[in-house]
Amino acid sequence: MMKKLFIFVFIFLGLNVVNGCPFFLSKYFVNIHSSIHNDNVTLRCQSKDDDLGSHVLSPNNDYEWSFCQSFSRATLFFCHFWWNNNEQIFDVFNSTMGEWCREGRPEGDICRWLVREDGFYFYEPIEYGRWLKQYYWKPVSKTSLTYG
Ligand SMILES: *[C@@H]1O[C@H](CO)[C@@H](O)[C@H](O)[C@H]1NC(C)=O
Ligand SMILES: *[C@@H]1O[C@H](CO)[C@@H](O)[C@H](O)[C@H]1NC(C)=O
């Protein structure tokens, strides 16, 4: 009896944990690429539960992480960006954007952001198939001169 139960539980978990997420949760990647020439961008991304910490993104490089969309679909990540006395803060992933990131990898969908001198672009793969500008940089405010 115990042995059967054990085997059942094992198969259940084994079949459904494909990409590190339980079968009822979707996996997403957030990918942030900087094409700012000759300068680093500092960013700090967070969700309600996770602080990914401060990260230096160098030119033509990517910063990427993945997560399992919570069952309530309430997962939200926001990032604070700093570059050359400019900053910006916005949501890089929420459940609505999740629907717009249908461009996939076998393990999950990717939400792509591009950081440029003139602002921030989101890649919309379905309706437009191109980068759409979403935000401008703004001058650093006195209250947030330090990273974090
Ligand atoms: C960008 O960051 C890298 C790694 O932290 C550092 O080696 C490099 O000097 C930085 N470049 C600039 C332009 O600040
Ligand atoms: C997610 O963000 C987008 C873009 O800012 C916004 O239009 C949408 O209403 C947000 N969705 C949720 C569930 O907050």
Reported as a single tens digit per residue, the pLDDT across 93-123 is: 998 888 888 777 888 899 999 999 999 999 9
Reported as a single tens digit per residue, the pLDDT across 8-26 is: 555 455 444 567 887 778 8
Report which protein residue has its CA nearest ligand 2's atom 10.
96
Ligand 2 interacting residues, C-beta cut-off 6 A: 91, 94-97
| Paired sense of beta strands 62-68 and 104-105, if any | unpaired
Q: Which is the closest atom of ligand 1 to the Cα of 39?
A: 13
Beta bridge partner(s), residue 121? 114, 133
From the candidate CATH numbers 2.40.160, 1.10.10, 2.60.40, 3.40.50, the one assigned to the domain spanning 23-144: 2.60.40
Report DSSP letters for 96-132, one per residue. HHHHH---EETTEEEEEEEEETTEEEEEETTTT-EEE
- Annotated domain spans of the chain: 23-144
What is the Cα–Cα distance from 22 to 145, expressed in whole angstroms?
41
